[in-house]
Amino acid sequence: MEDINEPIAVFAGMAGALQKLIDVWSLAVMAFGVERVDGIGFEPDGFDGERDWRSWAFRVQIGERSVWAWAGYEVSVSGYVECASCGVWDETDDGWYGADGCESADWFALLRNALLPA
């Protein structure tokens, strides 16, 4: 018999990271302008085509720079979803930058630094 708490844990984990991604998206719109920030989209196979990987992401473009903020999850055989990672992918130079703990402020700082290198 299936444990009723299993689906609840799955959805709770997903909701937490997605809310933080929405927070980062909102900060990006305020900082860079809505015309430069794409909407959040779902990637059913993540960025790497793995069947057990899911991610949500949005892209910001400033001039020649194109950077993605993303939250990725791995779905286990038993159905649990864990926050595998959150971070930024700099499409311009193919750099991957992890946001430890998926904290919104740190995550946004990674995005900003990738878009506006020193």
Task: For 103-113, write each residue's pLDDT tens digit.
Answer: 889 999 999 99
**Side chain identity, residue 70:** W
Mean pLDDT of the chain: 83
Average of pLDDT values for 47-52? Answer: 64
Instruction: Tell which wins on pLDDT, 47 or 117.
Output: 117
Over residues 53-100, the pLDDT tens digits come to: 788 899 999 999 999 998 887 777 776 666 667 889 899 888 888 877
In angstroms, the CA 13 to CA 32 distance is: 29
Residue 72: domain span: 5-102
Residue predicted with more confidence, 28 or 44: 28
The strand pair at 65-75 and 53-62 is best described as antiparallel
CA distance 6 to 81: 10
pLDDT: is 42 or 3 the higher one? Answer: 42
How many angstroms separate the CA atoms of 28 and 8, rounded? 30
Count structural domains, the chain. Answer: 1
Q: Is the pTM of this model over 0.85?
A: no
| Confidence check: pLDDT of 20 > 60 | yes
Residue pair 14/73 in contact (Cβ under 8 Å)? The answer is yes
Residue 12 has pLDDT above 90, yes or no: no
Answer whether residue 114 is part of any domain: no
Q: Is 63 exposed, middle or buried (0-12, 13-18, 19+ CB in 10 A)?
A: exposed
